[in-house]
Structure 1
């Protein structure tokens, strides 16, 4: 398993370091990133709505219309598929959140990483989340995190924290229980370490479940 993990880390590293032209300026890389996001939105038939419309819809997106809300301050696009069973993370609360995810590199149009299938399917990414007066901070548990293993950082992408203001974090305790489920388009400045360094956006399919402290 360690050998396989090392190979995957090497593959991801190669993808990252070959993803940008070294002669490009940072401004040019950001422009290329913006273009790739717009192409992705068109390709996927995404209907972008404003934060005002999102609020009028009781902080929900209509999946039948393939709606994503754009948060202007961060540049993150979010679709809420399922708000989830359970409770919102309360102000002043620190809790453990378990994540299943799939990460696509939008710039290269490739599946980049996932813990939902193949060799990582037995590992659920665990993070410690704190709500401080409505501002969320989080870090991965290095002993149980594919993201931490591959990107060598316990920092949770800022884009992953945006949904936490709008979804409930619970557990599958009965047949009617549902995990919160979101889809995100995350620009590099709100992304994981390598995405930020090499300036590429990622598309995430994420579920959240409350863990045990």
Structure 2
């Protein structure tokens, strides 16, 4: 009986030791870390967040001088620096090829992770697809294709409803609207999209 008691106490001690060494975070904890990283970036960057109601009231624009970003229903924060072409017909349409100049910054690691801004010979390109129920993008060339695969982050597609050819935006993209790696790691990213250009 004494050996059996000792055996169970040993098992309990081992179990507690393994539990104490387990640093794996739950998905809920990772989401909380993501939320905290986004809040810290907004605070540290002196960003003024406006509602969608204010955004629409201001003709779907953000005041760059006030460092305004609109928080959209998708969870994406967007600042429109330049809406692009003044020709209202220059909107992005289904099956358009879009060329993008950008940089990606990890809000968790606080470092630029991918950028084509310093490479004149490199441009990222994706095909914009629209169905009756959804929109999507598929990379056909560039750094994002090499790093993350063919799927365009959903957060990159959000601005296309508000801008035209040649637009420039800044985005804070939560993991659920990001690329596959962002979703897997629950990492939010900040993007400076220097230009969305329709390839003609």
TM-score by length of 2: 0.83
Give the Cα–Cα distance (whole angstroms) in 2 for the partners of residues 52 and 133 of structure 1.
26
Q: Deviations over 1:129-175 (max 9, x none)?
A: 1344694321000xx22101112x10000000000000002xxxxxx
Aligned to 1:40: 41
1:148 aligns with 2:145: yes
1:211 aligns with 2:184: no
Give the Cα–Cα distance (whole angstroms) in 2 for the partners of residues 22 and 89 of structure 1.
45
CA 25–180 in structure 1, closer or farther in 2 if over 3 Å, else same: same
Q: Does structure 2 retain, via aligned residues, the 8 Å contact 1:101–1:115?
A: yes
Give the Cα–Cα distance (whole angstroms) in 1 for the partners of residues 57 and 174 of structure 2.
25
Aligned to 1:75: 75
**In the TM superposition, what are the counterparts of 1:43-62 in structure 2 within 5 Å?**
43-62=44-63
Give the Cα–Cα distance (whole angstroms) in 2 for the partners of residues 32 and 166 of structure 1.
30
Bigger Cα Rg: 2
1:167 aligns with 2:170: no
SS at match of 2:96: strand
Give the Cα–Cα distance (whole angstroms) in 2 for the partners of residues 132 and 79 of structure 1.
26
Aligned pair count reads 175
Q: Does structure 2 retain, via aligned residues, the 8 Å contact 1:83–1:168?
A: yes
| Two-structure CA RMSD over aligned residues (Å) | 1.6
Aligned to 1:7: none
**In the TM superposition, what are the counterparts of 1:10-25 in structure 2 within 5 Å?**
23-25=24-26
**In the TM superposition, what are the counterparts of 1:49-128 in structure 2 within 5 Å?**
49-72=50-73, 74-85=74-85, 86=87, 87-90=90-93, 93-117=94-118, 120-128=119-127
SS at match of 1:94: coil
Aligned to 1:182: 169
Flag structure 2 segments of 5+ consecutive residues without an equivalent. 1-21
